Amino acid sequence: MATAVKICGITRIEDALAAAHAGAHAVGLVFYAPSPRCVTPAQAAGIIRALPPFVTTVGLFVDSSAQEVQATLSRAPVSLLQFHGAEAPDFCRQFGLPYMKVVRVRKGVNLLQYASDYSDAKALLLDAYVDGTHGGTGSAFDWNLIPQELPLPIVLSGGLDPDNVADAVRRVRPWAVDVSSGVETAKGIKDAAKIVAFITGARNADV
């Protein structure tokens, strides 16, 4: 199985195109105002229009209201939703779009229970728990905390970069890997060469 790659925190059209041309399967657009990678719906719409076909656009939300999500989707028609906060299953599924639920992993977090509660999610996105933040920290978590048999696909995130992604894929065997800060020159500014190196690392792990 070829591991899919998502490049998250895209803020510029040129970075989205660099990700697409390097072979990324998805790009992430952050709709969370405190994030340095936040984009407006208008900015996101421009990025979505510029992308070639067969690249999934993912909208990232953190404890937004249903009205805020709907208003964003009316202007920025992403293909997949990603919920990073304390959103309940019923909230996540009300928008008529497939979604992923993010779990910030640390000791004591029951991933099997999350998989049961969010059983209609397309995947669980597993990220590092860092107090007071909702991702994009560049921190990894202990991959041994992931149960051997989760009933949902895993999207692995947290502290991944071109140097460690191959090891992560071999050890965890996720459906996909997700990177943001690991391919940046500054927050929200991606490095095309790092994107290529990251995707190459993920593919080499599949050989």
What secondary structure letter does DSSP report for 38?
B
Residues 6+ apart with CB under 8 A from 48: 29, 57, 76, 77, 78
- Chain segment 90-116, per-residue pLDDT in tens: 999 999 999 999 999 999 999 999 999
Give the bridge partners for 61, in sequence order. Answer: 83
Q: Is the pLDDT of residue 43 over 90?
A: yes
pTM listed for this prediction: 0.94
Provide φ and ψ at 201, rounded to 5°.
Answer: -60, -45
What secondary structure letter does DSSP report for 94?
G
Rg (CA), the chain: 16
| pLDDT grade for 148, boundaries at 50, 70 and 90 | confident
Pairing of strands 123-128, 26-30: unpaired
Active centre residues (catalytic): 8, 127
